[in-house]
Amino acid sequence: MSSKSNSSNSTTNNVSNYNLQGLETNGAVVAGTGNTVTTTDHGAIDGAFGFGEQALEFAGGVVGSNEKVTTYAIDKNSDLAGQTIGFAENAIESSLDFSKDLVTQNATNSANSVAAIRDLTSTLTGADNNESNLKALYVAGAVVSVVGIGMFAMLGARR
């Protein structure tokens, strides 16, 4: 009889060498494959917060300055409004005084004209009276014309 024997042997060795010498205590070590490492730069974060604080301080200064400018402008506008009202009041008073003086002068002139006409009519008789009446009519017309022109001049000066 014969005998046969068949045998096979296989060995697989996977070796990974990691050198971890010289690491300090705050170092990070990652071993293996497919790992994800996330790090944070705390110095950059502190710097960003510092920049944000400076920006807020600057903005606060701008708002404070703007408040002062606005308050100043409102105060000056209030002063100007008060001065304008005072000027308008004085202008109106002056205009009314002028009108009063003009009316008084016209009334005086009219009264004098009426008195002159009355005196002329009482002293004249007959034909002289007719001529006198015509003259009185001319005088009255002239007075009315002067008063009318004065009123138009006053109205034109107001505009």
Q: What number of other Cβ atoms are within 10 A of residue 132's Cβ?
A: 18
* Domain coordinates in residue numbering, the chain: 42-158
Rounded-to-integer distance, Cα 135 and Cα 29, Å? 131
Select the more confidently predicted residue: 152 or 90: 90
Question: Position of tokens 């790992």?
Answer: 35
Of the ranges 22-36, 95-109, 110-124, 131-145, which one carries the lowest mean pLDDT score?
Answer: 22-36
Closest CA to 18 of 4, 5, 33: 33
Give percent of the chain with pLDDT exceeding 90: 11
Assigned token pair, 91: 């202008």
Does 25 have pLDDT greater than 60? no
Give percent of the chain with pLDDT exceeding 70: 77
* Confidence label for 51 from pLDDT (cuts 50, 70 and 90): very high
Of the ranges 29-33, 35-39, 83-87, 143-147, which one carries the lowest mean pLDDT score?
Answer: 29-33
pLDDT reported for residue 2? 64
Does 76 have pLDDT greater than 70? yes
* Confidence label for 15 from pLDDT (cuts 50, 70 and 90): low
Rounded-to-integer distance, Cα 100 and Cα 112, Å? 18
* Spatial CB neighbours of 146, under 8 Å, sequence gap ≥ 6: 109
* Spatial CB neighbours of 28, under 8 Å, sequence gap ≥ 6: 37, 39
Select the more confidently predicted residue: 147 or 56: 56
